[in-house]
Structure formats: C-alpha cells, structure tokens
Structure 1
Amino acid sequence: MRFLLIAFCIFTLTSCDYFTVKEKETTSSEIVAIVNTDKLFREDLKNVLPNNISKEDSIVLVKSYIQDWAIKKLFLKKAENNSSLESLQEIDLLVNDYRESLLINKYKTEIINQKLDTIISEEEIETYYNLNKDNFKLNEELVKAKYISFDKDLKNEKEIIKLFQSDKIEDQEELERKQLSFKIYDLNDSVWTELDKILLKVPFSKENLLKKTKFIQKQDSLSLYLVAVKDILPRNEIAPLSYIESKIKQMILHKRKIELIRDIEKIIVKDATKNNNFKIY
C-alpha cells in the first residue's frame, strides 16, 4: 500500500507538470497514475477539462480527478478482496442480466420506432371508449367554467362584469381584448377542467363551484373575482371522451406496442427453429 501511495503521488505530480510546462512533449499512452494493476493514461484526461479553463484551475481539476479515480479503484479492490466467491458470482450474474436487459430493450425500442403504426382514427378512439367506459370513472370533479380576476379599483369594472355575463359572441370577443387588464383569466368554458385546478386560482369554496351558475363574484382586499359555471360532472361519473381522449390514445398505442413485440417474438422463434438455432429436448 505504501508503494501504491508513493507511485500515485509521483504520477499525480507528473500529470500536473503536463499542464504547467507547455514545451513538454507527451504521448497519448503516457501513464499518469497507477493503482495496483490499473493504469490511468494521459489520454484518459482529455475530456476532463472544459474549454477556456485557466492553467491553475486545470491543475486543481486534474488532481481531483486522479484522486477520485484512485480512491474508486482502491475501494473496488478492497471490496473484491472482502467479498465471498458467491457474492462476486451473484454480482456478475446481476451485471450480465442488466446488460442483456439493456440490449434487448434497446432493440425493442428500435423496432417500435421503425414499425409501430402511430396513426389513430377518431373512430378507433370512440370504439375503445365505448367498450371500456366503466374503466373511466372520474376520481375528481370536473367543470366547464370561465373566470377572471382584476384589480377591484379598475375604472371599467361595470363594463367588464356586463361583458362577462353576456352570452353574445361579440361581447366575449370584446372581453378577450381586455385580457391585459386581468390578473388571471380563462374564458374558455367549452372544455372540461378539474375543479381543484380552478380552486387554486379563485377564492371560492368547492360548494360554490359545484352548482351551475351564470355569474358569481367575490372580492378581497386587492381583487375582484368573477366565475361562471356552465356544467359540472361529479366524482364517479363516466369521464367524457373529450377529457380522456389523449389518455385513450396512449392506451391504444401501448396495446399496439405489446402486440408488435409479441409478433416479433413469434417471428424470431420461428426463424430460429427453422434454421436449427433453437431446439427443445
């Protein structure tokens, strides 16, 4: 061990000289540190240093890298010497299994990227939804609602409230043109949204927003809040298709991936059997 530490220090100093003496010529195979039978070469340090680093910083960084490398190797040797043969064999098996899994999964991913049909028709989505409706019960309340918040001292407060209450398209368009006056807003009440998300933005109770209403308002010390609830869906109701359409697409794609891999597995086994590369005794 004493010899290793001395050798390590000598080669560390040698590596530092490389970064302080520009005129020194070196080769890519030059050794900068040794721990037992493991060697660290100058070439291994190529990618350690970032661009535009000072000479002083490069010395510090290289020293740190060599020390970390040496400590890792020394720890590894200690661990190997203090592990039973059974433990080492178990680790080798785990490493091999992990390597095989990585290779197989990488190959499967390549197959999926090349061969998977990702085009899903609206008809297919609707069919899947109708066949699996009972699996799409809501875990949260949904609402179709619009809301805005603005400074309570805003001069055109009455005009904004009037526009907000109106169902006329031109009034809604005018309201959207005033959105720069709003602190928060969402004027699209044609899509289903989780009620809890809205409650994070407006200071109303859940009970207030679980009732259809064309207009409710609330005021605090700084702002005025307006909300209109067009429709509601309570928990345990079947989720509307529009709300879970993207989720269904992912389910269909996942099913296709499984079927594709199974088909490939059958082809691989069939080819191996045909070519006498796979036999069962």
Structure 2
Amino acid sequence: MSLKYLYIFCLVLFISACSEVKNQVPLAQVGDKLLFLEDVKKVIPGRLSESDSSIWVDDFIKKWVQKELMILNAEANLTHAQKDVSQEVEDYRNSLLIYRYKKALMEQKMDTTITNEQINAYYKGHINEFVLKNDIVKAIYLKTPLEVANPETIKSLSMDEDPQKLEELDEYCIRYAKAYDRFDNKWVEVNQLLEQIPEEIDNLERFLRRNKFIESEDTDYYYFICIRDFRFKGENAPVEFVSSAIKNILLNQRKISFLKKIEADVYQEGMESNKFRLYNIQN
C-alpha cells in the first residue's frame, strides 16, 4: 500500500473519533467529481482489522476511480440518444413501486398459515415427487468416555418408548456424554451420524435391516447410535422429512394466486371508478 493511502487511512481513523467534521477532505478526483473522506467513512466495515481496513480503503478508492473514469468516457463517447436513460429510469422506478406495493399488501393481507392437513393433502397428491436422494434415519447418538461408558444401560434406555426411560437417558448423557443428540422424533441423513464415529459400514442397507445399534470405540471414547427407524435412497420420503419443502411450495402457490388477484382487483376497481378509458381505433 502506498504511503499516500496509508496516510489517508490513518486520517480516516482519526476523524472517525471526532464528533464533528467541519471540512470535507478530498481523497480522489476524476473530472469534476470528488471522493471525500466522509464518503469512505460511511461505508468502511467496522469489523475489519487495521491492516485489512487499509487494504479495503485502497481498493475502494481504486474502484471509485475506475467507475468514474468509465462514466467520464461514456459521457464523452456516447451520442445524446444513447445517453438518454430517462425511459429506463422511469421503467425501473415504476417496477420498484409496484413491487413494494405488492409486497406491502402481501405482508398485510396474505394468509401465511399452512396447516398439517394441507401439507398432508399435498403430499398424498404428489407422493411420487418426493423420492429420497439419501438414506435417512431416526436415531439417538452419543459419544462417551470409555471409563464411564455403560453400553447395556445405554442400549436399554435408548430403545425404550417410555418417556421416563428417555429422561433417564438424558440425565445419563448430561452427566457423562461428550456429545449427545436425539433424533428419535425427526429424520436426519444417516451420513451425518456416521461421520461422527470411527466405524465404517460397507453395506449400510443390509446392516440397518439386521441391526438396531451401531457401536464403535477408539482409545478414548465409546460411540453409540440407536436406530429407531430408517428409510433408504429411492424410497418415498416420509411426509415429516419434506414438510418444510411442501410448506414452501404451498406458500409460493398462494403468493402467485394472491398477486394475480391483486392485479385483477385493481383493474376491476379502476373500471368501476372510471379511472381509465379504452378507445376503439378504427382501421
């Protein structure tokens, strides 16, 4: 970084500490356009270190100069017609106004509640669209120091459906486990769990069909996964696993219908209020 920009950066930091800046300090000029110290102060990220900030300021000034040079060249070389962007500006403004108006109406009036009945109905009507791309399981996972591991107790508690037994498992894991997750009420991709253990399983489908537990250990820890349920790649996904995706689909469909209704209602209201007139053009 040049000494000039290093000095500028230090000056930025110094003036930032002041409550008021009486005079604007120019940092760069292209044609009649000036980049002032105040302009940089407004946009410099506060999370950067001193060295990163100096690099950022240097890059910002360079990009500003490049942009202004491009504008200067465009102004000098384009025809008057090419430089007339009034229609594009008007079109963009109108599009932005319409977007904000529709967005405000959606936030105020569109019902965003999606019930479980609606999710289930969509799932049943489109079940063939929800095919698993990976193996998934409901499971319990824990990692416990070898010296306090009690495999038989862990197995017994993790397979029990009694909420009190599962509370006992929670208490045990809170006291002893290095890592503990219960996915017994929701589906997760099995690879997420297998990444947490040193055991390698060659034929996962055959293993899961024959075993309820995955056990492994290294020199320090006992690893345990209790498989409560499973589904394999290529099967239909359980509705709980895809419920969030279905909710988004239904919300998007509702949004499209709502926006179409807004346009139709605006047209109808305009016609009833005589806000517009259509002319017949004779050939």
TM-score relative to the length of structure 1: 0.68
2:115 pairs, out of 118, 121, 125, with: 121
Distance 1:93 1:154, change over 3 A: farther
Report if aligned partners of 1:212, 1:232 keep a CA contact under 8 Å in 2.
no
Percent identity at matched positions?
30
Report if aligned partners of 2:149, 2:222 keep a CA contact under 8 Å in 1.
no
Q: Give the deviation of 1:116 after TM superposition.
A: 0.7
Q: Give the deviation of 1:248 after TM superposition.
A: 1.4
Distance 1:43 1:183, change over 3 A: closer
Q: Which moved more, 1:119-128 or 1:259-268?
A: 119-128
Q: Give the deviation of 1:93 after TM superposition.
A: 6.2
Report if aligned partners of 2:155, 2:226 keep a CA contact under 8 Å in 1.
no
2:95 pairs, out of 95, 101, 117, with: 101
1:176 pairs, out of 170, 174, 181, with: 170
Q: Give the deviation of 1:230 after TM superposition.
A: 2.2
CA–CA separation in structure 1 for the residues paired with 2:28 and 2:216: 72
Deviations 1:6-65 (A, max 9, x none): xxxxxxxxxx9xx8xx9xx9799xx999865557799979957999xxxxxxxxxx9999
Gaps of 5+ in 1: 1-15, 52-61
CA–CA separation in structure 1 for the residues paired with 2:110 and 2:258: 7
Deviations 1:139-171 (A, max 9, x none): 111112212111123265664455446555443
Residue type matched to 2:192 in 1?
Answer: K
Distance 1:42 1:210, change over 3 A: closer
Distance 1:220 1:95, change over 3 A: farther
Q: Give the deviation of 1:214 after TM superposition.
A: 2.8
Q: Determine if the alignment matches structure 1 residue 153 to structure 2 residue 147.
A: yes
Q: Determine if the alignment matches structure 1 residue 255 to structure 2 residue 253.
A: yes
Q: Which moved more, 1:74-83 or 1:144-153?
A: 74-83
Q: Give the deviation of 1:192 after TM superposition.
A: 1.7
CA–CA separation in structure 2 for the residues paired with 1:210 and 1:40: 66
- Which residue does the alignment assign to 2:8? none
Residue type matched to 1:275 in 2?
Answer: K
Q: Give the deviation of 1:83 after TM superposition.
A: 4.1
Gaps of 5+ in 2: 1-11, 47-56
1:76 pairs, out of 71, 80, 96, with: 71
Deviations 1:105-129 (A, max 9, x none): 2222112111111122222222111
Distance 1:280 1:222, change over 3 A: farther
Residue type matched to 1:226 in 2?
Answer: F
Residue type matched to 2:177 in 1?
Answer: F
CA–CA separation in structure 1 for the residues paired with 2:58 and 2:149: 67
- Which residue does the alignment assign to 1:140? 134
Distance 1:158 1:116, change over 3 A: same
Q: Determine if the alignment matches structure 1 residue 201 to structure 2 residue 192.
A: no
Residue type matched to 2:276 in 1?
Answer: N
Larger-gyration structure (1/2): 1
CA–CA separation in structure 1 for the residues paired with 2:29 and 2:196: 62
CA–CA separation in structure 2 for the residues paired with 1:278 and 1:205: 73
CA RMSD of aligned residues (A): 4.2
Q: Which moved more, 1:214-223 or 1:260-269?
A: 214-223
- Which residue does the alignment assign to 1:238? 236
Report if aligned partners of 1:269, 1:278 keep a CA contact under 8 Å in 2.
no
